[in-house]
Amino acid sequence: MPALLKKLRSPVEKAVEILLRMRQNSHAQEAPEFLSGTKTQDFRTLGRSGKIQSKVICMFTCKVPDEAGIRRLTKIEHHLFDGVSLSKERIREIHEFCPEMFCVIENEDANIVGYSTIFTMAPEQALHFISGSISEPDLSPELLITPSDDNFSKTHAYIGSVVVTGDFNVITRSVLLSSLLSWRMTQMTRLALRRLPVFMIAASENGSQLIRFVGARILKEAAEREDGAPVYGRTITPSFMNRANKALQRCLSSGFVKMDYSGCSRSCADS
């Protein structure tokens, strides 16, 4: 495992330890502290000892957003990144063009507690972006390609936003962030891409965590780009996705976040 990946694992390991303890404790009567601020459901069952056992399950779903979900995502995106993000109209257009460029985590009330955006484009458009001649607000369906495109195997991907919202502590945030990353890794696996060059700009702490997680290196210094922001990148391979997913799945085995891939494309080879 790369050294840069280990930097993200401290809060993740804490989450794993708590999740495993919850699974072993069949008599837990209330939600653990790290789930504070979330809705939970309490399921009671009759255990082998004949005593009532309680299992608390937190209900989140990680999925492609529908029309209502993309409107909620847009409000959050503009609240956090107004001026450097896509316009409302462009978000709507790109969502209609390729919904799976957006991924959200919703709670039981359909409120968004996390989301990520990734925009796939041809290599020549990626070079324009990396150089700074175009930026995120300039993106449109005309500059992007979808998995149905004949040249999708050569695609490059710009990772836009990776956001966890809400009043959660560090462990809950780590679980939600791990869910977003795992969902994207599975999405890439389903597309059976042999390699996927990705690039990103750190506009938040979540963005900085992602850069450390994937072990990205700097592609363009801030002084070399028109918008004054450095760009980081790396090539994602199946072996990297396999290693990363194994690390992420340790946080997700307790099922607090349901992973819904029904809105994801599949390659012809994927069963």
Model confidence pLDDT, tens digit, residues 228-245? 788 999 998 888 877 877
- Contact between 19 and 253 under an 8 Å Cβ cutoff? The reply is yes
Q: Containing domain of residue 235, as a range?
A: 3-29+58-259
Model confidence pLDDT, tens digit, residues 178-212? 899 889 988 988 888 888 999 988 766 666 777 87
This prediction has a pTM of 0.76
CATH label of the domain that carries residue 225: 3.40.630.30
Classify residue 149: in a domain, yes or no: yes
Share of the chain above pLDDT 70, in %: 73
- Beta-ladder partners of 40: 58
**Number of domains making up the chain:** 1
Check residue 130 and give its pLDDT: 93
Classify residue 227: in a domain, yes or no: yes
- Contact between 174 and 15 under an 8 Å Cβ cutoff? The reply is yes
User: Per mean pLDDT, which range of 34-38, 67-71, 155-159 is the poorest?
Assistant: 34-38
Classify residue 219: in a domain, yes or no: yes
Classify residue 268: in a domain, yes or no: no
Classify residue 48: in a domain, yes or no: no
Classify residue 233: in a domain, yes or no: yes
Classify residue 105: in a domain, yes or no: yes
Backbone angles phi, psi at 250, to 5 degrees: -60, -30
Classify residue 267: in a domain, yes or no: no
Model confidence pLDDT, tens digit, residues 68-119? 999 999 999 999 988 889 999 999 999 999 999 999 999 999 999 999 999 9
